[in-house]
Amino acid sequence: MGLFGKKDKLQIIAFQSYGTDSHFYARGRALEDEEIDLSQKGFFNLIWNSYKRFETDEIRNTSVRIKLSDGRTLSGKTDKRGYYVFDESLEDLGQLTNQEGWLNYEIAYDDSALRREILHQNRFPGEVLIPSENAEFGVISDIDDTILHTGVVSSLKWRVVVNTIFKRASKRTPLKGSAEFYGLLHRGKSGEAANPIFYVSHSPWNLYRYLELFLQENDFPKGPILLRNFPRLGSGKSRAEKPQKQKEILNILKTYPNLKFILIGDSGEHDADIYKEIAELYPNQVSAIYLRSVAHKKRMERVSGLFETYKTTPVLLVESSEQAIAHAKQNGFIK
């Protein structure tokens, strides 16, 4: 709801997702348009935009429709938090992709009872990545403190709050050399491949556009950005339940059983444990693990000990992007 009771226009944010030649998987969220301008400068504008990113007015239980470039249509509905998921078996989707493997589609509201003004003539673009069968390998990378300094390992997480709320995405600095490294991985050993890159983070979907802009502004290869839902109040998480990041990685490996992957993360939080467990479950699919070192002595000692006798998969604790690039060349991942 806008100021003075005026209703905001409606929008749909389509999250970049991934699928196969016979599996269409797309998700996103239907929301009121809060007119968030990620390029705005000034302290109060940053505070106001950050508030609007998390104070969302979702469009619940509303019909939506997807149209593919060949005319095929799919019908679905948003849930009580405004999210939609299309999980469909379709044929010959690879024929609809571009050279990088992206399938473009349009999504629209499909409910005549809404009686609300809708942005962009009710036509919102979406993309699904369908990796080529000629891809040499895939990359699954964490975002926080792996390519973007967030301060996840700082005490009380205060740096995460400061960096996310008080800094524009276009002014956030990537970790040195990371965009070059990812570009080389994307092009692979041949220098002409389109190896898929998947970005995973524990951040909520509310930060999707913020992180998307950060990756674009810093010339990272385009890839699905996989985040998590905010937990509902009172919905305690079972200790046996896997972190959402781990679930996403496992789903990617299951989706592409014939594709090998490089896992990239940092040694600050739980990436080392998650990646080690995944590599032990899928030793034939994980070609290497890169863990960027963080400035935290005890955590570095713990991670070093974790992999001291580990032989299943090559593991490199990365001090710099130059070191990672050299290792990737030696192992035939990049040109």
pLDDT, tens only, 198-215: 999 888 888 888 889 889
Of residues 95, 92, 122, the one with CA closest to residue 106: 122
- Mean predicted lDDT score pLDDT of the chain: 83
How far, in Å, CA of 325 to CA of 141, rounded? 15
pLDDT digits (tens, 9 = 90+) for 132-154: 989 999 999 998 878 886 654 44
Q: Is the pLDDT of residue 239 over 70?
A: no
- Return the minimum-mean-pLDDT range out of 47-51, 117-121, 235-239, 260-264: 47-51
DSSP-derived letter for residue 55 is: S
> How does strand 83-89 pair with strand 63-68?
unpaired
pTM (two decimals): 0.85
Using pLDDT thresholds of 50, 70 and 90, give the confidence band for residue 51.
very low
